[in-house]
Amino acid sequence: MRPDQQQKQQQQGIDVAVLVSIGRHPTTGRARRAEQDARGLELALSMEAELPGTRISMLHAGPQGDGSEAALRGYLGMATGVGMGLESMTLLEQPEGSDAIPALAAHLAATSPQLVITGARAERGEGSGLLPYALAEHLGWPLVNSLASVEKVENGVVTLLQALPRGQRRRLKVRLPAIISVDEAAPAARQSAFGPARRATFAITPTTPEADSELAQWHLAPARKRPKRLKIVKAASARDRFKAAASKAEGKGGQVLTDVTPEQGAEAIYKLLKEEEVLR
Amino acid sequence: MLETLLPILIFTALALAVIGAVRRIRLWRQGRPSRVNLFQGLVALPRRYLVDLHHVVGRDKMISNTHVATAGGFVAAAVLMTLVHGLGIANPLLGGLLLLASASMFVGSLFVARRRLNPPARLSKGPWMRLPKSLMAFSIGVFLITLPTVGLLPEGLLEGGSSWLLALVLAGVVAWGLGEMFFGMTWGGPMKHAFAGALHLAFHRRAERFSTKKGGVGRSTGLKALNLENEAAPLGVEKPADFTWNQLLGFDACVQCGRCEAVCPAFAAGQPLNPKKLIQDMVVGMAGGSDAAYAGSAYPGKPVGEHAGAPHGPIVALEGKALVDADTLWSCTTCRACVEECPMMIEHVDAIVDMRRHLTLERGKTPNKGAEVLDNLIATDNPGGFDPGSRLNWAADLNLPLMADLKQVDVLLWLGDGAFDMRNQRTLRALVKVLRAAEVDFAVLGAEERDSGDVARRLGDEATFQSLAKRNIATLAKYRFQQIVTCDPHSFHVLGNEYGELGGNYEVYHHSTFIAELYDAGRLAFAPWKGGSVTYHDPCYLGRYNGEYEAPRRVLKALGIKVNEMERSGFRSRCCGGGGGAPITDIPGERRIPDMRMNDVKESGAELVAVGCPQCTAMLEGVVDASAEVRDIAELVADALVERPAGNASGGSQGTAEMITAEEAIV
C-alpha cells in the first residue's frame, strides 16, 4: 500500500464488517439478536463514534424468513441517531443447513473490509466457536479472540486490547485486515430501538449454497443434564478457600521462551503441536 | 372627548385581539391532526366549564369565589362595554348592569391582589404579579366611564374644557385595562389562559373525561395507542410540532397556578421534574425561544434560562441541551396527581409518555434498567426475565384450577407479574384463600398469562405493549369467563381501560372491589379486628386512574377497622414512587418518594398501612426503619376469615332476599 493511501486511510477511518447471527434466548429459546454478536456491533459503533469515517456493514448468512428477520432487525435497531449509515444489512441467502463459512469468506474477500468483527460463538446451530478461526484460515488474515476494545487505528495497524482471564488485559498491535472475535469481555450492547429496526432494509445477495456435509452426518440430540462432581475443597482457613477460588490455575511443565526470533518461536510451537499430535 | 375616544380604544383592542388570536391559532395548528367534533365541543363548552372545571377549582373555595367574581364580572363587563361604549347604546339598564359587572370584577380583583401579596411558591411570579393591578385598572376604568351613562354623574363632567385632563387619565386607565384583557389575551399575556382555556375545554383530546347530563362517569385515563401499522406515522413526539394541535392548545391553557407542582411526588423528592415548568417548556417550544422568561419554580437542580427550543427542533437533544432534558421526562411516576389537580384539564401524563415513546422507540434511550426490562419483556413476557413456565411455582401446593382445563369459569384470576415476586406471592396466596372461602368459581391462566404490558407502555415501548396485549387478548379469547379479578391495579387498569382500543373488552375487578361485593353478598365472615390503628394508602392506578376509593375502605370497615386517614388520601393520595417504570429508570433525587409516603403514614399515627397494589407493597416495604407494617388488603381479609355462621347454605348475616340479589350481581 502506498504511503499517501495509508495517510488517507488514517483520516477516513476504516471499513468494518460485523458478522451477525440469529441468537436464541437461554430461557425461552426465542430468536433474538445474539448476545456476543450484538457486543461486536456495539464495538463497531463505538469505533465509529471515536473514529469518524468508519464505515460499518453488517453481514448475515442464512435463510430468509419472518422469524430470522425479527431477530436480525434487533441489530439494525441499534443504529439510532443521525449519520449511522446502518439502514441496511447484507443477507447472504442460503437454505437452512448450509455451511456459512464459504459464503462469508467469498463475500469478505470480494468486499475486502479491513476489520471483521464477530461473536466468539453462535447461540444456535453447532455453536462450536470455530467460525472465526475457519474464516481466518480461509482468508489468511490474523485473528484476535476475546477482544475488550479497539484503541486506535494508525497506518493500517490496529491497536487492540485483548481480555485475558481474571480481568487481565493484553495490548496487541495487528496489521489490517484482521478478524476479531468478542465475548463477554466486550462492552454490553446498547438498546435496540423499534423505529430504526422497522425502517431498515435487507440487501439480499443469493449465494451458491454449499451443504454442510459434516453437519449432515452428525447425530443431533437435546443436551442431557449430567450429574456434577462436587468439588471438595480441602482448606483449613478462609484464606485458603479464597486462594482456591481466586488464584490462577498454575500451568505445569512447559517452557517460557524469551528473546527469541519469530522463527525460533514458531519452531518451538510447531514442535509442541507435533508432540501433542495436534499436527500430524 | 371620551365618547369619541372610547369606541376607538375598544375596537382597536378588539381588532388587535383578533389578529393575536389568528396568530395563536396558527401556532396550535403546527401540531398534528386530531379528530375532534368542533361543533359538539363548542356546544359542550359551558357545561365543561361550569361543571367539570369548577368541580376542580371549587376544591379551593376562596379562589373559586374569587374567580367567579372576577371572570364573571369581566365577561359581562366586556360584552356590555362593547355595546354601551363601543356602539354607543347608552341604555340606562345596560349601563346599570355594566356598573354591577365592573364592581363585581373589582371586588374579585381585590382578592386576586390579596393572594399576590405573599404568594405561595407554587404560583408563578413575573407578569402574573401585575395581573391584579390590570384587573383593577379595567374594572375601575369601566366603572368610572359608565357613571355618566347611567346619570349618576352629570353628563358634562368629563366634557367640560377644564376636565379634559381627567378624561385623558380615565382613557389611559381604560387603555391599560383593555391592553391586558383584550390584547394580552391573545398575544401571550396572563389572560391567554381564558382564550386558550376555553378552546381547550371545547376541543379537548379526551372529550370522554367530561361529565354529561346523562350522568357519564367523566373519566378517561387509558393512554392512547400509537398507530404501528402505518410506517409513516411518527413514533411518539420528537419536536413540539409532533403533538396533536389540541395538545398544543392544552399547553397554552396553563394558568401557572402550580397546583400540579404542589402535588407532584417527583418534584417533592427533588427529582428534576416540575409539571408546570414542563407545560411552560412546551409553550416555549411551540412558539420558539428560551425558557428564560419563566417565572416559577424550576426543575429541581436545573437553573432556568439554559434551555431553548423551536417548534420543529428536538425537545430532547441528542447531545447537550435542548428544550427539556431526558431525566425530566423519566422522573414521572405517571401517578396523575397533576392531571387530577389541574383546573385547566391539561393532560401532563399523555405528553410525557408521548415524548418517552420517541426516546425509546426511535432513539433506544430508556435509562438505567429500562433496556434490560424491555428486553426481558420481549424474550420472556415478564420484566424480570424469569422462565414463563415458572409463573405458577409459588402455587405448587395450592392446586389452582387452570383455564386450559376448565375452559369456562365465573372468575378469571389474573396473577400479574407479582407471581414472580416472593412478597406478592404471599398476597396471592391470601387472595386464593379468600376466593376459596367464598366458594368462588375461579381459574388462572397459569403459564399462558403474560405481563399486561403496563411497564412497557409507560416506558414508551408501545411496540412491546401492543405485542403483549394482542397475545393476551388472543389467549383470553379462547376462554369464557364473567369477569377478571386481579390484585394488581396496574393490570386492572391496562386490562380494563387500555385493551379495549386493541379489541379486548373485559369486566375487570380489583380484588378489593370483588372482596367488598363478596362480603356484601354474605359470602365472607370475619373475626373482629384486634390489631392497632390502621391507615390506607390509595394506589394511583386504582384511585385516580379508576375512581375506586370506596371499596377498599368498605372492606376495611367490614374487618372492623376504623381507617385513620392520612392527610393526603383519596384523590389526593401521594404516589409510592413505583408507577410508570420509575423504579426502573431510577432518576436520582434528594429524597425517595416512598420515604415521604411512609412519613405520611407515620404522621397519621397508624401502626399498619393497608395497601392494594404489589408495587406499593414493594416500595413501602423497602423503606428503612419504617414506623408501620405494610399489609395487602387480601392478607388482612385472609387472616380475619372465620367460618360463616351455619344454618344458611351460603351463610351470611344479611337477609336471604337481599342476598340473592347480591349473588346475582356477582355471578
Interatomic CA distance for residues B468 and B412, integer angstroms: 18
Statement to judge: residues B613 and B554 lie in one domain: yes
Sign of CA dihedral B195, B196, B202, B203: positive
Number of A:B CB contacts under 8 A? 53
Q: What percent of chain B has pLDDT over 70?
A: 95
* Per-residue pLDDT, B159: 57
Statement to judge: residues B153 and B6 lie in one domain: yes
Between these two residues, A234 and B512, which has the higher pLDDT value?
Answer: B512
3-state secondary structure of B540: coil
Bridge pairing between strands A143-144 and B308-309: unpaired
Amino acid making up residue A29: G
Statement to judge: residues B470 and B496 lie in one domain: yes
The answer to whether residue B373 is domain-embedded is no
- CB contact under 8 Å between B380 and A81, yes or no, is no
The answer to whether residue B666 is domain-embedded is no
What would the grid cell of residue B96 be? 346599570
Sorted by sequence, the CB contacts under 8 Å of residue B174 that are 6+ apart come out as B6, B9, B137, B138, B141, B142, B145
- B272 preceded by cis ω (within 30°)? no
Cβ neighbours, 10 Å, residue B510: 27
Specify the residue for cell string 409539571: B275
The answer to whether residue B403 is domain-embedded is yes
Choose the weakest-confidence range: A66-70, B297-301, B391-395, B519-523.
A66-70
The stretch B551-567 carries a mean pLDDT of: 96
The stretch A4-16 carries a mean pLDDT of: 59
Between these two residues, A246 and A266, which has the higher pLDDT value?
Answer: A266
With a cut of 90, say whether residue B313 has pLDDT above it.
Answer: yes
CB A94 within 8 A of CB A62: yes
Q: Which of A45, A80, A84, A191 is the best substitution to test chain B (most B C-beta atoms within 10 A)?
A: A191
Statement to judge: residues B51 and B181 lie in one domain: yes
Statement to judge: residues B121 and B194 lie in one domain: yes
Tens of pLDDT, residues B448-482: 999 999 999 999 999 999 999 999 999 999 999 99
What would the grid cell of residue B513 be? 372491589
DSSP B481-546: EEEEEES-HHHHHIIIIISGGGT----EEEHHHHHHHHHHTT--EEPPP-S--EEEPPPTTTTTTT
- CA distances to A45, A119, A248, B209, B375 from B372, rounded to whole Å, are 19, 20, 32, 35, 5
Number of domains in chain B: 4
- CB contact under 8 Å between A193 and B231, yes or no, is no
* Per-residue pLDDT, B194: 94
What is residue B420's DSSP assignment? G
With a cut of 90, say whether residue B90 has pLDDT above it.
Answer: no
Sorted by sequence, the CB contacts under 8 Å of residue A279 that are 6+ apart come out as A270, A273
Choose the weakest-confidence range: A163-167, A269-273, B69-73, B594-598.
A163-167
Statement to judge: residues B269 and B410 lie in one domain: no
Interatomic CA distance for residues B599 and A162, integer angstroms: 52
Phi, psi of B471 (to 5 degrees): -70, -35
Tens of pLDDT, residues B166-206: 888 888 998 999 999 999 999 989 999 999 999 999 999 99
* Per-residue pLDDT, B659: 40
Rounded (5°) CA angle B108-B111-B115? 140
* Per-residue pLDDT, B653: 42
Judge residue A63's burial from the number of C-beta atoms within 10 Å of its C-beta, 0-12 exposed, 13-18 middle, 19 or more buried.
middle
* Per-residue pLDDT, B636: 97
Interatomic CA distance for residues B628 and B617, integer angstroms: 12
3-state secondary structure of A138: helix
What is residue B417's DSSP assignment? G
CB nearest B379 (choices: A30, A80, A198): A30
Residue-range definition of the domain harbouring residue B586: 525-659
Q: Residues of chain B whose C-beta is under 8 A from some C-beta in A?
A: 231, 235, 318, 360-366, 370-371, 374-375, 378-380, 385-388, 461, 463
Element (H, E) at A274: helix A262-275
B305: confidence class by pLDDT, cuts 50, 70, 90:
very high
Q: Which of B358, B363, B382, B466 is the best substitution to test chain A (most A C-beta atoms within 10 A)?
A: B363
The stretch B288-294 carries a mean pLDDT of: 94
Sign of CA dihedral B350, B360, B584, B414: positive
* Per-residue pLDDT, B649: 45
> For residue A190, which residues of chain B lie inside 8 Å, CB to CB?
364, 371
Judge residue A248's burial from the number of C-beta atoms within 10 Å of its C-beta, 0-12 exposed, 13-18 middle, 19 or more buried.
exposed
- CB contact under 8 Å between B386 and A27, yes or no, is yes
Between these two residues, B15 and B2, which has the higher pLDDT value?
Answer: B15
The stretch B108-134 carries a mean pLDDT of: 94
- CA distances to A17, B87, B515, B521, B652 from B656, rounded to whole Å, are 78, 73, 19, 10, 9
Q: Which of B227, B228, B235, B386 is the best substitution to test chain A (most A C-beta atoms within 10 A)?
A: B235
* Per-residue pLDDT, A1: 39
* Per-residue pLDDT, B663: 40
- B401 preceded by cis ω (within 30°)? no
3-state secondary structure of B612: coil
Q: Produce one character per residue of B400-412: b if its CB has 16 or more CB atoms within 10 Å, e if not.
A: beebeeeeebebb
Average of per-residue pLDDT values in chain B: 92
Interatomic CA distance for residues B344 and B334, integer angstroms: 18
- CB contact under 8 Å between B364 and A30, yes or no, is no
B143: confidence class by pLDDT, cuts 50, 70, 90:
very high
Statement to judge: residues B497 and B541 lie in one domain: no
> For residue A27, which residues of chain B lie inside 8 Å, CB to CB?
379-380, 385-388
> For residue A22, which residues of chain B lie inside 8 Å, CB to CB?
none
Statement to judge: residues B456 and B323 lie in one domain: no
Taking the CA of residue A210 and the nearest CA in chain B, the distance in Å comes to 32
3-state secondary structure of B603: helix
Statement to judge: residues B350 and B392 lie in one domain: no
- CB contact under 8 Å between B385 and A190, yes or no, is no
Sign of CA dihedral B432, B434, B435, B437: positive
B664: confidence class by pLDDT, cuts 50, 70, 90:
very low
B617: confidence class by pLDDT, cuts 50, 70, 90:
very high
With a cut of 60, say whether residue B96 has pLDDT above it.
Answer: yes
The answer to whether residue B334 is domain-embedded is yes
* Domain finish residue from B313, B331, B361: B361
CB B572 within 8 A of CB B543: no
The answer to whether residue B368 is domain-embedded is no
- CB contact under 8 Å between A77 and B463, yes or no, is no
Sorted by sequence, the CB contacts under 8 Å of residue B586 that are 6+ apart come out as B367, B368, B369
Phi, psi of A140 (to 5 degrees): 70, 30
Taking the CA of residue A13 and the nearest CA in chain B, the distance in Å comes to 22
Judge residue B473's burial from the number of C-beta atoms within 10 Å of its C-beta, 0-12 exposed, 13-18 middle, 19 or more buried.
middle
The answer to whether residue B72 is domain-embedded is yes
Tens of pLDDT, residues B366-385: 999 999 999 999 999 999 99
The stretch B653-657 carries a mean pLDDT of: 40
CB A135 within 8 A of CB A104: yes
What would the grid cell of residue A193 be? 430501538
With a cut of 90, say whether residue B579 has pLDDT above it.
Answer: yes
The answer to whether residue B211 is domain-embedded is no
B61: confidence class by pLDDT, cuts 50, 70, 90:
very high
With a cut of 50, say whether residue B104 has pLDDT above it.
Answer: yes
> For residue A25, which residues of chain B lie inside 8 Å, CB to CB?
379-380
- CB contact under 8 Å between B379 and A28, yes or no, is yes
| Closest of B539, B610, B592, B55 to residue B340, by C-alpha | B55
Among chain B residues, the shortest Cα distance to A193 is held by B364
The stretch B555-568 carries a mean pLDDT of: 96
Interatomic CA distance for residues A34 and A22, integer angstroms: 6
Judge residue B20's burial from the number of C-beta atoms within 10 Å of its C-beta, 0-12 exposed, 13-18 middle, 19 or more buried.
buried
> In chain B, what is the straight-line distance between the N-terminal and C-terminal CA atoms, in Å?
80
* Per-residue pLDDT, A225: 84
Amino acid making up residue B20: G
CB A173 within 8 A of CB B213: no
Whichever domain contains B538, its CATH number is 3.40.50
CB nearest A195 (choices: B361, B378, B379): B361
For residue A162, list its beta bridge partners.
A147, A170
Taking the CA of residue A197 and the nearest CA in chain B, the distance in Å comes to 9
Amino acid making up residue A7: Q
The stretch B62-75 carries a mean pLDDT of: 94
Show the beta-strand stretches assigned E in A63-139: 88-93, 115-119
Q: Produce one character per residue of B517-547: b if its CB has 16 or more CB atoms within 10 Å, e if not.
A: bbbbbbbbbbeebeeeebbbbbbbbbbbbbe
Amino acid making up residue A87: E
- CB contact under 8 Å between A77 and B364, yes or no, is yes
CB nearest A194 (choices: B318, B380, B463): B463
Whichever domain contains B273, its CATH number is 1.10.1060
CB nearest B318 (choices: A30, A81, A198): A81
A84: confidence class by pLDDT, cuts 50, 70, 90:
low
3-state secondary structure of B309: strand
Statement to judge: residues B254 and B402 lie in one domain: no
* Per-residue pLDDT, A81: 62
Tens of pLDDT, residues B3-34: 788 889 999 999 999 999 999 999 999 999 99
What would the grid cell of residue A43 be? 464495538
CB nearest A27 (choices: B318, B363, B387): B387
* Per-residue pLDDT, A279: 82
* Per-residue pLDDT, A251: 63
Statement to judge: residues B304 and B436 lie in one domain: no
With a cut of 50, say whether residue A99 has pLDDT above it.
Answer: yes
In this prediction the pTM is 0.90
3-state secondary structure of B505: coil
- CB contact under 8 Å between A193 and B386, yes or no, is no
3-state secondary structure of B268: helix
* Per-residue pLDDT, B435: 96
Between these two residues, B149 and B78, which has the higher pLDDT value?
Answer: B78
CB nearest B362 (choices: A27, A28, A80): A80
* Domain finish residue from B153, B186, B204: B204
* Per-residue pLDDT, A181: 96
**Dihedral angle at the C-alpha atoms of A30, A36, A41, A42, nearest 10 degrees?**
110
Ordered by where they begin, the domains of chain A are: 13-217 (3.40.50.620)
Q: Which of B378, B386, B466 is the best substitution to test chain A (most A C-beta atoms within 10 A)?
A: B378
Statement to judge: residues B21 and B139 lie in one domain: yes
Q: What percent of chain B has pLDDT over 90?
A: 84
Cβ neighbours, 10 Å, residue A156: 15
Amino acid making up residue B152: L
- CB contact under 8 Å between B361 and A192, yes or no, is no
- CA distances to A36, A38, A76 from A18, rounded to whole Å, are 11, 9, 12
What would the grid cell of residue A84 be? 449511522
The answer to whether residue B24 is domain-embedded is yes
With a cut of 60, say whether residue B657 has pLDDT above it.
Answer: no
* Per-residue pLDDT, B490: 97
* Domain finish residue from B204, B229, B259: B204
Between these two residues, A165 and B541, which has the higher pLDDT value?
Answer: B541
Specify the residue for cell string 449430567: A226
Specify the residue for cell string 355471578: B667
* Per-residue pLDDT, A39: 96
CB B383 within 8 A of CB B421: no
* Per-residue pLDDT, A10: 47
> For residue A77, which residues of chain B lie inside 8 Å, CB to CB?
364
> In chain A, what is the straight-line distance between the N-terminal and C-terminal CA atoms, in Å?
37
Interatomic CA distance for residues A183 and A174, integer angstroms: 19
CB A90 within 8 A of CB A58: yes
What would the grid cell of residue B481 be? 369467563
* Per-residue pLDDT, B154: 64
Q: Which ipTM value was assigned to this complex?
A: 0.87
